[in-house]
Amino acid sequence: MTQIKEWYNRFKQAQTSVESKPQSGRPSTSRNEEFVENVPRIVENDHRITINEITEVVGISTGSVHTILTEDLAMRQVSAKFVPKLLVEHQKQLRLEIAQDMLDYANSDSDFMKTIIIGDET
């Protein structure tokens, strides 16, 4: 709502740009290439590592570690593990091959579907 009010006041003063003016301040030193490369190695070694533990190892702020994980590396936290949001190409290809094999088996053997056991986690 505050941003809308700011835009309204700008338009009222005959300013047509909605872009924010450049702000002064220190550039971020925590999100450089070195940290963006080190954080995934740490997470790959232990998927159950917490953001606070990564912060202690790398030596940058909690917010910077969280930003690197979520924005730069496109990861999300699932049940206390950090996992990629999207499948890599190899994983997509493997799923496609497995699905194609299942279809081939189902088409070649009429009793194939009777051999599949289904269930839930319980």
Whether 94 and 77 map to the same domain: the answer is: no
34 phi, psi to nearest 5 deg:
-60, -45
Find out whether 51 and 19 touch, Cβ atoms under 8 Å.
no
Structural domain count of the chain:
2
Instruction: Using alpha carbons, select from 55, 56, 59 the residue that is nearest to residue 69.
Output: 55
Residue at 25 is within a domain = no
Residue at 10 is within a domain = no
Q: For position 100, what pLDDT does the model report?
A: 93
pLDDT single digits (tens) 56-79: 888 888 888 888 888 887 777 655
Whether 81 and 92 map to the same domain: the answer is: no
The model carries a pTM of 0.43
Domain of 42, CATH number, reads 1.10.10
Residue 81 exposure: Cα atoms within 13 Å on the Cβ side: 8
Find out whether 38 and 58 touch, Cβ atoms under 8 Å.
yes
Note down the domain range covering 70: 30-85
Whether 38 and 74 map to the same domain: the answer is: yes
Find out whether 70 and 76 touch, Cβ atoms under 8 Å.
yes
